[in-house]
């Protein structure tokens, strides 16, 4: 096999003598040993490129073999169906059916085009399928923004508890409009509403307020949270759910306003943009091939001070050309009698293009897409506000999927590995981070899939009722189907303790981020160079008329203009489609020509998938060819681009919170002792079932002295006891008799712990042994652990 490493013959440049003086002085300090010493780096670079080609070629070969085998079987079935004496009649029926479907198909596209025109002419109607009313219009705030807070109006017969924990859902502002989180009944909004929770939604309009920044948006969202808290004074802090780009928006909100939010849920939210596997996740490479931040500066200027979100949508579309240019349209054609409402409804959202200010898109690119500063803890919201995701005090749930090619699990979870050295630091800081991974659902399926809404979002909503009773740490939320079907299906949920290494292994691991760091530095230099040279001339040459012309002439918009009634050729489609519906007679599915059509459509889809795979290979190859070269990386490292994660581990015992907790090992009362005992039990089995967590939460909410405590005091107590058990388990165990001195209180404490850990027949051996050990330490009468446990006798 061709080995690119053979091209990497030793390159010895031992001196810059003889080079032109200015050239020599410019590069002699910036090109270290990468070009002047050993050839090891060059050889490794060539080997990596060769391995990359082999990876893509091997995957293409496997796909081709699988498709060939499947296609041969399908063709045999189609050929057998063609051997029928009624072939001519089948052909006539198929022609009639095709003519009908052509009219209905054109009408569906016409409806999509009309929705697009309505949106372009000023409609800010969301795609929320739920009735809602505006609570705060962001245009009225002291720092005006194009965001608004709406409350979902519960349908008749769906009770909502005003003292229940409110939900606030933030949709992505990534080129589209808002409402996808409540697109249908079985959605995030539906899961919250069916749980009886007051539900609010953050929407936004098509055009931003001139000059608005993401700091203004974050301030507005903080005001939205405060208003929700004012409306529900007897409720726990609101839960904030962020979808995709809304996920990092929710994290910004919680990090800069840690005292006002409850748990944060980040669904498919990219927080660590450099993370991913070589050979996969092509979208993370685009920033290095389109000029980084320079391109968005230029596009914003050409837009006369507005960045067109259609550019972002176009990037999403070219990730899957088979779906963009063929599959979704063929599915409409294939299922024209049932697919139109779903297709038109979704396209109404997908085709609604929204704008951003230059400041917003530049911040996003420089701190997220290319710079990855938020994931590395180096982002500034404004000149006075440093963003550190460790400042989020509320529990965090991360939902990601292996089938997501826009936000793969590494990008959703990598920030945890970047911010925390290990799980001990997460515990020391009192944080609870949960994650759950889906095996196959795609990016949009995370927000709109009915099955995901029933399973993941439904169980997340149920879990959030008791999450604050969980001791600090990192957990995988494991959801398994237990019994039942449809709406009656019952799921088993457990929280398994994980290390950061285990989490990243489950996510799929990640490759070196050195090339991305180099891109980030060159992006900064390119943007600065553009601002100093070309920007004044571009701005002087642009006006609103030219910006509108550029926006309307884009393929994303032109296609939809032509589909609408604004096109004279489409104006006769509606009455013709109505006539077809009245006389519609669909051809049977076993029609041989219908089967041949589907077979041919499958071949076209496979061809487009091949184009996608080739495109991804070219994108990744060119990225590593350019930014993975030793010389390029050397320049980036010299300029401060490369980041090292090899920092010495902090001595967490020196943290004030840890020292304060350890100083109070033998201080406290009944409530401290019970919490400590429950932590010992949870720690013994390395997993917490949701049913036990709910019983623990119920105890905290309804049993004295816990019920009289404020939520913040309960959280501090759980954090303190977690630190004590984690750092000094033996001393913590021996101090229990001091905390719970009265024998009646000890028996009550054991009864509470057994009730939460039980029933006995479901206890694992570790739980039984731990309960026995606790009874022994508390000098109680014999505690019978059952068949699998020992009998603990009273200590004299």
pLDDT in tens, 386-400: 999 999 989 999 999
Cis upstream peptide for 759 (omega within 30°): yes
Pick the CATH number of 132-277+366-516 from 2.40.110.10, 3.40.50.2300, 3.40.50.300, 3.40.50.1820: 3.40.50.1820
| Lowest-confidence pick of 147-156, 208-217, 273-282 | 273-282
Please answer whether residues 247 and 181 qualify as being in contact, where contact means their C-beta atoms are separated by less than 8 angstroms: no
| Lowest-confidence pick of 151-160, 196-205, 370-379, 757-766 | 757-766
Please answer whether residues 535 and 301 qualify as being in contact, where contact means their C-beta atoms are separated by less than 8 angstroms: yes
Query: What's the pLDDT tens digit per position in 82-129?
Result: 888 889 999 999 999 999 999 999 999 999 999 999 999 988 888 888
25 vs 684 pLDDT, higher one: 684
Which of 575-589, 655-669, 701-715 ranks highest by mean pLDDT? 575-589
- Local confidence band at 38 (pLDDT 50, 70, 90 cut-offs): low
pLDDT of residue 454: 64
pLDDT of residue 575: 95
Query: What's the pLDDT tens digit per position in 138-182?
Result: 999 999 999 999 999 998 888 899 988 999 999 999 888 888 888
As a whole-number percent, the residues of the chain with pLDDT over 70 amount to 90
Distance between CA atoms of 433 and 410, rounded to whole angstroms?
15
Report the chain's mean pLDDT, rounded to a whole number. 85
The helix (run of H) or strand (run of E) holding residue 483 is strand 473-483
Distance between CA atoms of 462 and 195, rounded to whole angstroms?
8
Distance between CA atoms of 609 and 586, rounded to whole angstroms?
30
Task: Indicate the burial class of 409 (C-beta count within 10 angstroms; 0-12, 13-18, 19 or more).
Answer: buried
Query: What's the pLDDT tens digit per position in 481-508?
Result: 666 565 556 677 888 889 999 999 999 8
Distance between CA atoms of 330 and 195, rounded to whole angstroms?
38
* Mean pLDDT confidence for 12-36: 42
Q: Is the confidence at residue 749, as pLDDT, over 80?
A: yes
**CA separation (Å) from 165 to 161, 197, 236, 466?**
8, 6, 5, 11
- Local confidence band at 786 (pLDDT 50, 70, 90 cut-offs): very low
Q: Is the confidence at residue 133, as pLDDT, over 70?
A: yes
| Lowest-confidence pick of 157-161, 187-191, 599-603, 636-640 | 636-640
* Mean pLDDT confidence for 19-24: 40
Distance between CA atoms of 711 and 605, rounded to whole angstroms?
55
* Mean pLDDT confidence for 738-756: 89
DSSP annotation string for 302-361: HTTS-EETHHHHHHHHHH-HHIIIIIHHHHHHHTTTTSHHHHHHHHHHHT---EE-HHHH
| Lowest-confidence pick of 373-382, 460-469, 528-537, 664-673 | 460-469
Could you tell me the residue ranges of all domains in the chain?
1-83+604-648, 132-277+366-516, 652-792
Phi, psi of 352 (to 5 degrees): -95, 105
pLDDT of residue 483: 60
| Lowest-confidence pick of 290-299, 337-346, 454-463, 537-546 | 454-463
């Amino acid at each position: 096999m061709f080995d690119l490493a053979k091209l990497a013959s030793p390159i010895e440049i031992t001196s810059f003598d003889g080079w032109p003086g200015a050239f020599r002085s410019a590069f002699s300090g910036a090109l270290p040993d990468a070009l002047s010493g050993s050839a090891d780096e060059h050889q490794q670079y060539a080997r990596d490129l060769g391995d990359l080609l082999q990876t893509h070629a091997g995957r293409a070969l496997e796909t081709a073999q699988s498709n060939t085998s499947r296609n041969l079987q399908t063709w045999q079935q189609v050929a057998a169906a063609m051997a029928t004496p009624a072939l001519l009649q089948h052909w006539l029926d198929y022609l009639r059916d095709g003519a009908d479907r052509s009219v209905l198909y054109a009408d569906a596209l016409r409806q999509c085009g009309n929705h697009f025109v309505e949106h372009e002419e000023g409609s800010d109607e969301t795609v929320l399928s739920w009735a809602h009313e505006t609570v705060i219009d962001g245009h009225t705030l002291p720092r005006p923004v194009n965001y608004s807070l709406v409350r979902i109006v519960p349908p008749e017969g769906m009770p909502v508890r005003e003292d229940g924990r409110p939900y606030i859902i933030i949709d992505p502002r990534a080129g589209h409009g808002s409402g996808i989180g409540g697109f249908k009944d079985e959605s995030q909004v539906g899961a919250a509403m069916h749980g009886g929770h007051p539900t609010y939604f953050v929407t936004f309009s098509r055009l931003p307020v001139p000059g608005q920044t993401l700091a203004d948006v974050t301030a507005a969202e903080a005001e939205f949270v405060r208003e929700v808290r004012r409306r529900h004074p007897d409720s726990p802090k609101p839960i904030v759910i962020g979808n995709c780009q809304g996920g990092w928006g929710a994290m910004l909100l919680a990090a800069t306003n840690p005292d006002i939010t409850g748990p944060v849920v980040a669904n498919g939210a990219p927080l660590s943009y450099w993370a991913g596997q070589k050979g996969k996740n092509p979208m993370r490479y685009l920033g290095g091939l389109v000029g980084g931040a320079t391109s968005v500066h230029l596009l914003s200027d050409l837009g006369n001070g507005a960045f067109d979100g259609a550019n972002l949508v176009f990037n999403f579309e070219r990730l899957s050309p088979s779906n963009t240019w063929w599959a979704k349209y063929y599915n409409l054609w294939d299922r024209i009698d049932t697919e139109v409402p779903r297709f038109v409804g979704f396209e109404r959202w997908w085709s609604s293009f929204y704008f951003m200010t230059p400041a917003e898109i530049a911040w996003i690119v420089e701190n997220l897409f290319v710079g990855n500063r938020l994931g590395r803890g180096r982002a500034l919201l404004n000149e006075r506000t440093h963003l550190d995701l460790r400042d989020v005090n509320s529990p965090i749930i991360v939902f990601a999927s292996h089938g997501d090619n826009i936000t793969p699990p590494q990008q959703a979870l990598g920030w945890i590995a970047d911010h925390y050295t290990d799980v001990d630091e997460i515990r020391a800081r009192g944080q609870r981070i949960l994650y759950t991974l889906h095996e196959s659902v795609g990016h949009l399926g995370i927000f709109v899939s009915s099955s995901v809404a029933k399973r993941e979002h439904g169980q997340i909503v149920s879990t959030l009722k008791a999450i604050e009773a969980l001791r600090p740490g990192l957990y995988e939320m494991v959801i398994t189907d237990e019994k039942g079907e449809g709406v009656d299906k019952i799921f088993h949920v457990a929280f398994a303790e994980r290390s950061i290494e285990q989490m990243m292994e489950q996510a799929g691991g990640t490759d070196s981020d050195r090339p991305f760091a180099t891109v980030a530095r060159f992006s900064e230099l390119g943007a600065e160079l553009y601002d100093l040279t070309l920007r004044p001339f571009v701005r002087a040459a642009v006006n609103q008329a030219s910006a509108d012309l550029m926006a309307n002439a884009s393929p994303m918009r032109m296609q939809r203009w032509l589909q609408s009634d604004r096109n004279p050729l489409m104006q006769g489609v509606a009455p013709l489609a109505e006539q077809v519906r009245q006389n519609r007679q669909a051809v049977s599915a076993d029609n041989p020509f219908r089967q041949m059509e589907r077979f041919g459509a499958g071949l076209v889809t496979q061809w487009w998938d091949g184009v996608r795979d080739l495109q991804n290979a070219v994108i990744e190859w060119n990225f590593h060819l350019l930014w993975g070269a030793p010389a390029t990386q050397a320049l980036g490292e010299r300029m401060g681009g490369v980041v090292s994660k090899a920092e010495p581990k902090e001595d967490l015992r020196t943290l004030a919170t840890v020292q304060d907790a350890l100083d109070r090992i033998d201080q406290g009362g009944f409530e401290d002792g019970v919490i400590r005992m429950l932590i010992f039990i949870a720690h013994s089995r390395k997993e917490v079932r949701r049913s036990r967590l709910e019983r623990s939460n119920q105890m905290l909410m309804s049993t004295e002295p816990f019920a009289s405590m404020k939520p913040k005091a309960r959280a501090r107590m759980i954090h303190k006891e977690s630190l004590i058990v984690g750092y000094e388990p033996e001393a913590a165990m021996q101090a229990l008799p001091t905390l719970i001195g009265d024998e009646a209180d000890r028996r009550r404490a054991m009864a509470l712990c057994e009730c939460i850990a039980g029933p006995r027949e479901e206890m694992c051996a570790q739980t039984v042994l731990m309960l026995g050990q606790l009874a022994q330490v508390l000098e109680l009468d014999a505690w019978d652990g059952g068949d699998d446990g020992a009998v603990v006798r009273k200590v004299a």
